[in-house]
Amino acid sequence: MTPTPAIFTPMLIAAGIFFVWSCYRRFSLVTLGQPDDRFDRLGRRIGDMFLYAFGQKRVVAKPFGINHFIIFWSFMVLLLANGEFLVKGVIPALSLALLPAPLYHGLLLAFDLVSLLTLAAILLAFARRIFFPPAYMSTAYVKARSVEGFLILAFIALLMIAYFGLHGAEIALGSEPAAAFMPVSSAIARLLQSSPSAVSLQSVAWFCWWLHALVLLAFICFLPHSKHMHILTAIPNCFFASLEKPNTQPREEFVKGGEFGVDKVDSFTWKDLFDSFSCTECGRCQNACPATATGKPLNPRQVIHAIKTNLLTNGPLLQRDGAHVIPLIGEEGEGSNTEETIWSCTTCGACMEACPVLIEHMPKIIKMRRHLVEMKSTFPDELLNLFENMEQRSNPWGIAPSERTKWCATMEIKPFEKGVTEYLFYIGCAGTFDSRSKQVTVALATILNAAGVSWGILGKEEKCCGDSLRRLGNEFVFDRMAKENVELFRQKGITKVIVQCPHCFSTLKNDYRQYGLELEVIHHGELIDQLLASGRLKLNQQVKDLGRVLFHDSCYLGRHNDVYDAPRDVLRSATGQAPLEMERSRNNSFCCGAGGGRMWMEEFSGERINLNRVDEALRQNADTICTACPYCMTMFEDGLKDRQAGQTRVRDIAEVVAEGLRPV
């Protein structure tokens, strides 16, 4: 079949112009965003791009992801075939046949087989959307069975069908000299030859050529207007992804006349906006989110979708110096986030861990919280006390700082001394004031003494690290507390810090780095692991009476700081057995519900997050749930009480180890 360039060329040019114009319209909206340097450390960026975009690392983490992997790579291969198709449509003499024969034949074989594979994958995808769409594929505004989803699948399927029709007919006509390298098309050719239909092979070839051409052009035009835009944005999005763990939010500079936080779409950074154009609507973030799972109004995917919808509506007006017509924070709507949505996040990071294209959801939520707290002073009532207590007494409960040393009434504890003490044991507010966590502090102190570690405390001088404030968007007060702490640590010559709370851990380690303070922060899980491995800590007995022991990953230790093995190794050493795992564990762990300042807030809608997690633990018939975080401990103990599961207890890993230190 010889194309008709006189007709095809103008169509291609029109489609091309429309495509470029559409892309320009969309991507120029991204430039409305604020600056953000995402061009540093190019080597790592390129590496990430290969791993996550081309390697589809996150995509294949789920079984059905293999299907997408096939479609993605087929698409890459067929890009060449379709490129040739378009060129040949304009200049029929230009074709891949001009390449050396072995290469050309190899390509033909690849195109033929890959097209079949694609067709199969597309049919599977169709079936999935029709017959067994997972709940997480739908939101209030985007459905799994959406016209758009089916249209795109249909486009691809039609391209494959047209491809086989065209080549089958040409082979049947005997006009394809390389038929031997196209086994699938040859089979189609035989089918066409044996069919009694009255249609001539010529017209089949003609029809299929034009079908292929029209679908391809339609696809090109539709692409920038659909969720399929991710074909264009996903790869660069992986390149521009945050190289640090994105849970450490950027600092704000407090100058008079400034705006703090985000309540307008153009106050986001360009990367935030680009993220929203990269979402594939796959729903994985939504499937991982504890807030969504327990019926809160927050759905991380909808947060991203709202930004996109908001930008597409307001952006063009802003470009013409117009005003916003839909608010970013406001009533429920496709382009808005409600305040309750924004306050529901536990900052657990599960969404960011799941997202195949490395979208950063949580920092955007924090930016909106910052606006609410810093510009409007609107936040859930419970937080007023927290904020005042933090500012006045540097701890969440508002207990007098003079009581910071009460936990060690029964022990002889030394203050940290510059040049003498090796480690500061930063107790943290929970370990200092919470009666249950104080037991963990004592257990850990016993362990440190048994291992002969040189350690000391700040005592009454210790201040809260400010974690909750930062996650709640009260950056102004966090900033003050961080500066005070950094100054104190510098003055005291502190370089090495032991912590028992993952929130202190992450804040001292990651957030304070933004203030120029590089500390060697070690969580007790890691420290005990090292002490046991090096033989500095020897247990007197194996801990036997804890029954079936299970370990729960705290988000701020695991996902946010990649500490997974150390606490498990500690439990293995102490109990002689590897701990039990829950269905969702390690980087897929499910939040206890207390992170992101949620510890201090009521949970009004839906099921309680801690109950969801407690039920999961109880399904493993655990006798002892081990945690490595004071918040997780509180949430589990409360949840077990609610479930009246009195036979199951909660222990911190330090308590288990301290148990093993008891003389036989």
Partner 1 sequence: MQIVACIKQVPDTTQVQIDPVTNTLVREGIPFIVNPYDTHALEEALRLKDRFGCRVAAISMGPPNAEATLRKALALGVDDAILLSDRVFGGADTLATSNVLAAAIRKLHEQEEVGVVLCGKQTIDGDTAQVGPGIATRLGYTQLTLVDRIEHIDLEKRAIRVRRKLEGRHEIVEAPLPVLLTVVRELNRPRYPTVPRRLESADAEVKTWSNQVMQLPEPTIGLKGSPTWVSRIFSPERDKGEIIGDGVQDPEGTANLLIDKLLSKDLLAL
- Could you tell which of ligand SF4, partner 1, none binds residue 288, using a CB distance below 5 to 8 A set by kind? ligand SF4
Decide: 301 and 341 in contact? Cβ < 8 Å. no
Decide: 211 and 158 in contact? Cβ < 8 Å. yes
User: What CA–CA distance (Å, rounded) separates 155 from 147?
Assistant: 12
Q: Within positions 417 to 476, which residues make up the interface with partner 1, using CB under 8 A?
A: 476
CB of 44 to ligand SF4, least distance (A): 21
Query: What are 434's two structure tokens?
Result: 């919470």
Query: What are 531's two structure tokens?
Result: 């002490």
- Residue 3 or 466: the one with the smaller Cβ distance to partner 1 is 466
Query: What are 556's two structure tokens?
Result: 């701020």
CB of 392 to partner 1, least distance (A): 6
CA dihedral 366, 368, 374, 379 (to 10 degrees): -90
The dihedrals phi and psi of 254, each to the nearest 5 degrees, come to -95, 90
Amino acid at 251: R
Order across the sheet with 455-456: list the strands: 455-456, 423-426, 496-499, 520-523
User: What CA–CA distance (Å, rounded) separates 172 from 191?
Assistant: 9
- Residue 239 or 260: the one with the smaller Cβ distance to partner 1 is 260
**Interface contacts to ligand SF4, rule CB under 6 A:** 279-285, 288-291, 298, 300-301, 304, 345-351, 354-357, 359, 361-362
With CB under 8 A as the contact rule, the residue among 377, 534, 644, 647 that binds partner 1 is 377
CB of 396 to partner 1, least distance (A): 15
Picking from 425, 385, 386, the residue whose alpha carbon sits closest to that of residue 405 is 425
Amino acid at 418: K
- Residue 96 or 399: the one with the smaller Cβ distance to partner 1 is 399
Told to check if 256 binds partner 1 by CB under 8 A, we report: yes
The number of beta carbons lying within 10 Å of the beta carbon of residue 230 is 19
Query: What are 126's two structure tokens?
Result: 């169709």
- Could you tell which of ligand SF4, partner 1, none binds residue 399, using a CB distance below 5 to 8 A set by kind? partner 1
Q: Which stretch binds partner 1 (CB under 8 A): 102-110, 250-258, 272-280, 537-545?
A: 250-258
Q: From the centroid of its chain, how far is CA 13? A: 39
Told to check if 646 binds partner 1 by CB under 8 A, we report: no
- Could you tell which of partner 1, ligand SF4, none binds residue 528, using a CB distance below 5 to 8 A set by kind? none
CB of 371 to partner 1, least distance (A): 10
Q: Residues 297, 65, 352, 269: is their CA dihedral positive or negative?
A: negative
CB of 565 to ligand SF4, least distance (A): 23
CB of 226 to ligand SF4, least distance (A): 14
Q: Within positions 392 to 411, which residues make up the interface with partner 1, using CB under 8 A?
A: 392-393, 398-402
User: What CA–CA distance (Å, rounded) separates 441 from 409?
Assistant: 12
Beta bridge partners of 523: 499
- Residue 168 or 300: the one with the smaller Cβ distance to ligand SF4 is 300
With CB under 8 A as the contact rule, the residue among 381, 518, 545, 602 that binds partner 1 is 381
Picking from 327, 312, 334, 323, the residue whose alpha carbon sits closest to that of residue 371 is 327
Q: Within positions 178 to 237, which residues make up the interface with partner 1, using CB under 8 A?
A: none
- Could you tell which of ligand SF4, partner 1, none binds residue 400, using a CB distance below 5 to 8 A set by kind? partner 1
Decide: 94 and 2 in contact? Cβ < 8 Å. no
Told to check if 488 binds partner 1 by CB under 8 A, we report: no
- Residue 426 or 505: the one with the smaller Cβ distance to ligand SF4 is 505
- Could you tell which of partner 1, ligand SF4, none binds residue 67, using a CB distance below 5 to 8 A set by kind? none
- Could you tell which of partner 1, ligand SF4, none binds residue 92, using a CB distance below 5 to 8 A set by kind? none
- E strand or H helix at 472, and its extent? none
- Residue 222 or 556: the one with the smaller Cβ distance to ligand SF4 is 556
CB of 533 to ligand SF4, least distance (A): 33
- Could you tell which of ligand SF4, partner 1, none binds residue 257, using a CB distance below 5 to 8 A set by kind? partner 1
With CB under 8 A as the contact rule, the residue among 52, 155, 240, 260 that binds partner 1 is 260
CA dihedral 596, 600, 604, 609 (to 10 degrees): 50
Told to check if 387 binds partner 1 by CB under 8 A, we report: yes
Decide: 465 and 485 in contact? Cβ < 8 Å. yes
With CB under 8 A as the contact rule, the residue among 8, 219, 343, 379 that binds partner 1 is 379
Told to check if 255 binds partner 1 by CB under 8 A, we report: yes
- Could you tell which of partner 1, ligand SF4, none binds residue 350, using a CB distance below 5 to 8 A set by kind? ligand SF4
- Residue 308 or 509: the one with the smaller Cβ distance to ligand SF4 is 308
- Residue 377 or 647: the one with the smaller Cβ distance to partner 1 is 377
With CB under 8 A as the contact rule, the residue among 99, 130, 199, 384 that binds partner 1 is 384
CB of 618 to ligand SF4, least distance (A): 22
Picking from 27, 76, 78, 80, the residue whose alpha carbon sits closest to that of residue 56 is 76
CB of 377 to ligand SF4, least distance (A): 23
- Could you tell which of ligand SF4, partner 1, none binds residue 282, using a CB distance below 5 to 8 A set by kind? ligand SF4
CA distances from 53 to 233, 275, 355, 460 (A): 10, 14, 12, 50
Q: From the centroid of its chain, how far is CA 43? A: 22
Decide: 543 and 514 in contact? Cβ < 8 Å. no
Query: What are 600's two structure tokens?
Result: 């201090």
User: What CA–CA distance (Å, rounded) separates 246 from 226?
Assistant: 27
- Could you tell which of partner 1, ligand SF4, none binds residue 346, using a CB distance below 5 to 8 A set by kind? ligand SF4
User: What CA–CA distance (Å, rounded) separates 329 from 342?
Assistant: 9
CB of 476 to partner 1, least distance (A): 5
- Residue 228 or 367: the one with the smaller Cβ distance to partner 1 is 367
Query: How many positions of this chain bind partner 1 (CB under 8 A)?
Result: 24
- Could you tell which of ligand SF4, partner 1, none binds residue 554, using a CB distance below 5 to 8 A set by kind? none
- Could you tell which of ligand SF4, partner 1, none binds residue 379, using a CB distance below 5 to 8 A set by kind? partner 1
Told to check if 254 binds partner 1 by CB under 8 A, we report: yes
DSSP E strand stretches across 170-271 = none
- Residue 55 or 380: the one with the smaller Cβ distance to partner 1 is 380
- E strand or H helix at 654, and its extent? helix 653-661
Please classify residue 197 by burial: count the beta carbons closer than 10 Å to its beta carbon, then call 0-12 exposed, 13-18 middle and 19+ buried: exposed
Question: Which residues neighbour 132 within 8 Å (Cβ) at sequence distance 6 or greater?
Answer: none
In the complex, which residues of this chain contact partner 1 (CB under 8 A)? 254-258, 260, 373-377, 379, 381, 384, 387-388, 392-393, 398-402, 476
